[in-house]
Amino acid sequence: MRPPRERIVVKARAGWMGMGRGAGSTALGLFQILLVFLCIFPSVTSPCKILKCNSEFWAATSGSHHVGTEEAPEFCTALRAYAHCTRRTARTCRGDLAYHSAVHGIEDLMVQHNCSKDGPTSQPRLRTLPPGDSQERSDSPEICHYEKSFHRHSAAPNYTHCGLFGDPHLRTFTDTFQTCKVQGAWPLIDNNYLNVQVTNTPVLPGSAATATSKLTIIFKSFQECVDQKVYQAEMDELPAAFADGSKNGGDKHGANSLKITEKVSGQHIEIQAKYIGTTIVVRQVGRYLTFAVRMPEEVVNAVEDRDSQGLYLCLRGCPLNQQIDFQTIRSAQATEGRTRMKGPSLQVPPKAFTYETATAKCREKLPVEDLYFQSCVFDLLTTGDVNFMLAAYYAFEDVKMLHSNKDKLHLYERTRDLAPGNMAPSGMASALWVALLCLSQCWLCLL
C-alpha cells in the first residue's frame, strides 16, 4: 500500500493550512462548509472561477492524507495545474479571499514539497483503476501504453491527423487544408507532451516558394515512461536516432514506449510514442522534409490555455495573413499556362512546367484530382522541381496510413478558417448584417 496523501483545503479566511495525518475529517468538513457557503452566495463566485480550480485540485489529490516521497512528482504535477488554473482566473478574482488564499497556499506547498514551477501539469486520461486494483504500480507497462489504458474501462480513443508537405501545404487536425507562406520557424504542435517546430526556407534565392528545411521534435519527460528526448532533422540529414544518439525513451521503466524506426535510410523514419498513442512520420523528399502525425484528440487538446495557442499550426491553421488563396492562383496558373502555349512565351527557367505539363505529371502519381493533386500542380508551377510531386504523393500515402476516417482521405475544397479576431468574408458579413437588420425590425414591431 502506498502511504496516504496529504489533503489541503482553502479556508474562508486569509492564509493556508496544510492538514496533517489526523485531520482528514476536519479538512473534509471545512471543505464542504466552503462549498456550501459559495453555493449559497453565487454572486460572490459567478465571475471568479477559483472554485473550479479548487475542485480540480481536490479531485486530483483526494484519496489520502500524506504525500509520500515516491508520489511527490504526481503531487507537484497537480500543484502546477492548480497554479495555472489560478493564473487563468486572476483577472476576475481580484479581491477574492479564497483566490488569494489559494495563490499563497500553492507557493507554500511548492516550497514544502520541492516542486519545480516548470514541468508537466496534466496527463492524458489514463486507465482509472477499478476496485481491488489499488496496489497496481503506476509505472507498470500498461501506464506507458495509451491504447491499453482504454481497453476495458472507456471507449476507444478518437485519433486525428496533421500533415505538412511541399510549398508548404498544411492539413490540420480538423481536416482544414491550407497553402501557406510561413517562412522561418513556426510551431506545428505545442502541447503538454511534445513540441514540434518547422523551419521553412525559400526554394530559390528571392523566390516566394518555401519548403521545410528543418524539423525539431521535443518529447517531454513523462512519468516512468520516457525521459525528455529531442529529434532534429535538416536538409540532407534525416537521422534514425534522437539527438543524444539513443533510439528509445531512455532509462525509465517504460522507455520502449518511445521508439525510432528507420524505414528507408536517409529518406523515411517513423517515431512511435505509445505512451501518448502517437505516430510521427518524417520523410526527406528531394532536399526538403515532410511531416505527418497521428494523435489522439485528448493529447491534441492537452494545452494549458487553448486561447493562447494561436500559432499552433496543426490545431489552428496558418494565420490569415500567411495563407495563399489557392483557387485564385490555380486559375491564374491555368490562364498563364494557356498563354504560354498560344502567344509569345515568358522568360522561364529551363525546368519550368506549363499548367498542362504539370497536371499531366501529377496524374502519374495522383490520379484523383483532389487537393493533393492540386497542391502537386501548384508546386511544380512555382518551383519547377519534380520532387514536389513526390512530396504530395507521399503525403497522401501517409494520410492513408494515419488518418482514422477512411471516408475523409480525399479533400476537394480548400478551407479558410476564421481565427479569433479575424474579419468574416464579405459574403458572410453581408448575410450577418441582413440578419441583424431583420432582427432589429422585428424588435421595433414588438415595441
pLDDT of 410 above 80: yes
Mean pLDDT computed over 410-422: 57
Question: Is 275 contained in some domain?
Answer: yes
List Cα–Cα distances, 362 to 31, 353, 369, 395, in angstroms. 66, 11, 9, 13
Site of grid cell 511531416: 291
Question: Is 233 contained in some domain?
Answer: yes
Judge if 296 and 374 occupy the same domain.
no
Judge if 171 and 265 occupy the same domain.
yes
pLDDT, residue 188, reads 95
Question: Is 33 contained in some domain?
Answer: no
Residues 84, 75: Cα–Cα separation, whole Å: 14
Judge if 164 and 312 occupy the same domain.
yes
Q: What is the DSSP-derived secondary structure letter of residue 186?
A: E
Q: Can you read off the three cell numbers belonging to residue 160?
A: 486525428
Q: How confident is the model at residue 339 (pLDDT cuts 50, 70, 90)?
A: very low
Judge if 165 and 282 occupy the same domain.
yes
Residues 189, 322: Cα–Cα separation, whole Å: 17
Q: Are 145 and 296 in contact (CB under 8 A)?
A: no
Sequence-distant (≥ 6) Cβ neighbours of residue 330 within 8 angstroms = 374, 377, 378
Site of grid cell 493533393: 372
Judge if 299 and 331 occupy the same domain.
no
Judge if 283 and 394 occupy the same domain.
no
Judge if 275 and 226 occupy the same domain.
yes
The CA-to-CA distance between both ends of the chain, in Å, stands at 70
List Cα–Cα distances, 194 to 171, 229, 230, 275, in angstroms. 19, 9, 10, 12
- Predicted TM-score (pTM) of the model is 0.61
The mean of the pLDDT values for the chain is 74
Q: Are 198 and 166 in contact (CB under 8 A)?
A: no
Mean pLDDT computed over 433-441: 38
List Cα–Cα distances, 61 to 5, 186, 296, 307, in angstroms. 7, 37, 26, 27
Judge if 92 and 193 occupy the same domain.
no
Question: Is 137 contained in some domain?
Answer: no
List Cα–Cα distances, 254 to 66, 145, 171, 241, in angstroms. 27, 9, 32, 18
Question: Is 59 contained in some domain?
Answer: yes
* % of the chain with per-residue pLDDT over 90: 38
Judge if 68 and 92 occupy the same domain.
yes
* Residue 76, helix vs strand vs coil: helix
Q: Can you read off the three cell numbers belonging to residue 296?
A: 489522439
Number of domains in the chain: 3
Judge if 104 and 171 occupy the same domain.
no
Question: Is 416 contained in some domain?
Answer: no
pLDDT, residue 336, reads 55
Provide the total of helices (H) and of strands (E) in the chain, helices listed first.
Answer: 12, 13
Question: Is 14 contained in some domain?
Answer: no
Judge if 309 and 275 occupy the same domain.
yes
Site of grid cell 496523501: 5
* % of the chain with per-residue pLDDT over 70: 64
Mean pLDDT computed over 406-410: 91
Q: Can you read off the three cell numbers belonging to residue 12?
A: 474562508
pLDDT of 280 above 90: yes
Last residue of a domain, one of 88, 113, 138: 113
Exposed / middle / buried, residue 63 (Cβ in 10 Å: 0-12, 13-18, 19+): exposed
Among candidate residues 153, 101, 104, the one with its CA nearest the CA of residue 127: 153
Mean pLDDT computed over 24-39: 42
Judge if 330 and 292 occupy the same domain.
no
pLDDT, residue 414, reads 62
pLDDT tens-digit series, residues 95-107? 777 777 788 888 8
Last residue of a domain, one of 113, 136, 157: 113
* CATH number of domain containing 233: 3.40.1000.10
Question: Is 263 contained in some domain?
Answer: yes
Site of grid cell 511527490: 72
Q: Can you read off the three cell numbers belonging to residue 173?
A: 487536425
pLDDT, residue 82, reads 87
Domain that holds residue 109: 49-113
128 versus 407: the higher-pLDDT residue is 407
Ranked by mean pLDDT, the top range of 41-50, 174-183, 342-351, 412-421 is 174-183
Residue type, 329: I
237 versus 20: the higher-pLDDT residue is 237
Least confident of 93-102, 216-225, 396-405: 93-102
pLDDT of 321 above 80: yes
